[in-house]
Structure 1
């Protein structure tokens, strides 16, 4: 081999080794600056409260400040779009809910400036929030069996309120219709609060609400809980049977949110972040704060979270198509 060629190859090898060593050193040094977490909901919401409960624990483990930025809007597309466009260095993360990762792509893919699969790296699931089907005190409906019988006899006067088109509560309501073989009218509200107000007043006889919005109202008898949407009974409403227990085989629907990073974030950094979040989610005080919301901590590995996102996307995409659900 000619000396000049040999020298060129040696120089190229040195460059490759230098770059590899730099990448390893960068990963080993991580983190060496504050980490920003973008929350795609306004302050005070469940996701915001959960991440703020974890904030000091994450800061202690990672030995860096954790900066929380609320960037709501467009069903989570704005905040998670910013995460997708950030540098894949582990310093910008996002709290992503089921809607932006598994529902929006089926409802209005054209409005999304990013691909949830290609442009994001799952880190961990954070928490799950079950839903509950409730009836107003003015309604004569006292059970799921009673509701299905009335709906099959006639649907006039029956309707289910929910928190908005394309929300997990909307899809839970549509799943109820599908599993029960009925066609109850679904009424979209601009959020859980107005849906709750109308079912309390009896303007709609039924509603699908999240546990945080409804557990106190159920506890003091202002709403009747007909069934919970989770696969198992929930600790907050132990006497309320699941919808699956009441004849709707395989019924399972929960709200959830987790942590994502930009695609291309080094696996070692994702592993470091995952370990920090899993540790924080095992802290007794943090668990208590999360459960007070009516949520359940649900840490996973990055691989398990990726598989969960995929399965949820397939499940809800199928329902959206079969139920003919369209974007507003």
Structure 2
């Protein structure tokens, strides 16, 4: 009887161990495809870089990683979709800092509602970018002084942005105030459509990151006349800062990062953060980021959390002071 009892206990223990192992395998992450939501259409920096990360992440985890574009309302449609998603690691958001500012400028009922600070789980700050003022070369404008004069005389009356509440929109309104002009914002659903209209001459000017416009600057169709940084960009060292051009107090930067829904488990955050940090060290990824004029960042999730709070607070104050509101 003692021998039989020991055998039964051993069998039960083995069964429990097997069931536990099976459960662990069933819960291994990821065990199915991952969706990366981009809240803007193809053609811009965010979409392009998201696809680079998707390809690399897929190869590392052995599961399909698909980029889905959910556009509209200055990115808040896609952002809200992720905020409300199941926090299981299978729905992620790759976003510029528009995520932290767009809800602050949209009129009630015109966009999806979410809290940039509390409705997401930060995963990683992928990179940072400078913002530039670029004009169609047919305007004949080659510097900020002439641009401001053209704005005051009515020769230039509007500027394009990738969307209301974007850092480019905020920069445009800060520039208006600092330069004493009243250019009207023309918001687009991302940089891609805005660049098309800028190159064709439908709009005269565009506040933008460098990536979407670099080829047109190189071929002379567009002219880069200023950077909204305290110092000149190493990527465009011949382009003066706004302050150098006589427009002070108009400095705005941009960033790109990964977040998940609120409540994303810590072990999944660690897994994704580790993969993305490794991807950010790959030479071909660094080359692609250089092409897009992105300076790699990386690090712990807290770095992104800090930036989201900082931008939401700083630009929230600017938005309130300047009365920025989406049309």
TM-score, scaled to structure 1: 0.78
How is 1:247-326 mapped onto 2 (pairs within 5 angstroms)?
A: 247-249=246-248, 251-326=250-325
CA gap of 1:322–1:183, structure 2 versus 1, over 3 A, is: farther
Gaps of 5+ in 1: 1-20
- Retained in 1: the 8 A contact 2:224–2:239? yes
Which residue of structure 2 aligns with residue 116 of structure 1?
116
CA gap of 1:132–1:32, structure 2 versus 1, over 3 A, is: same
Give the Å deviation of 1:162.
Answer: 1.5
CA gap of 1:249–1:54, structure 2 versus 1, over 3 A, is: same
- How many residues align structurally? 304
- Retained in 2: the 8 A contact 1:37–1:67? yes
Task: Indicate the larger mover: 238-247 or 277-286.
Answer: 238-247
Give the Å deviation of 1:249.
Answer: 5.0
Which residue of structure 2 aligns with residue 11 of structure 1?
none
2:185 is the counterpart of 1:157 = no
Q: Pick the aligned partner of 2:184 from 168, 172, 186.
A: 186
Give the Å deviation of 1:227.
Answer: 1.0
Gaps of 5+ in 2: 1-19
Deviations 1:7-29 (A, max 9, x none): xxxxxxxxxxxxxx99x969994
CA gap of 1:300–1:183, structure 2 versus 1, over 3 A, is: farther
Task: Indicate the larger mover: 296-305 or 24-33.
Answer: 24-33
- SS for the counterpart of 2:103 is helix
Which residue of structure 2 aligns with residue 49 of structure 1?
48
Q: Distance in 2 between matches of 1:70 and 1:203?
A: 25
CA gap of 1:97–1:58, structure 2 versus 1, over 3 A, is: same
CA gap of 1:224–1:48, structure 2 versus 1, over 3 A, is: closer
Q: Distance in 2 between matches of 1:213 and 1:272?
A: 31
What is the aligned-residue RMSD (CA, Å)?
3.3
Give the Å deviation of 1:194.
Answer: 6.4
